[in-house]
Amino acid sequence: MEHQELDEEILYTVAQTFKALGDPTRIRILHLLAQRECSVTEIAETLHLKQSTVSHQLAVLKSLRLVKFRREGTTLYYSHDDDHVIQLLEQTIDHVSHK
């Protein structure tokens, strides 16, 4: 079977996605959003983080299409954007938790 090179743009985006998933705060946020949709305030309160920290991390996750949002009045509600990423995250958690 012949080796097929990855497109440079795909390669870069994959690396950026793994880099984003390498941050404990972003993992915590994604893990929460895999369970339910939340506002920035709900995420901050649930994970005991500052709202500014949550907003910054959500911007990173949104730029990689790992989270999405919907607006209800003046409040933004975030959820995960791709089941593939959540499956990868859950499989990794299972792998690390496996004894």
Give residue-wise pLDDT tens across range 19-66.
999 999 999 999 999 999 999 999 999 999 999 999 999 999 999 999
Quote the pLDDT of residue 78: 98
- Report H helices in 1-99: 8-21, 24-35, 40-47, 51-63, 83-97
Report yes or no: 34 and 80 within 8 Å, Cβ to Cβ: yes
pTM of the predicted protein model: 0.89
DSSP letter at 76? E
Give the whole-angstrom CA distance, residue 56 versus residue 62. Answer: 10
For 97, half-sphere exposure in the C-beta direction (CA atoms, 13 angstrom radius) is 6
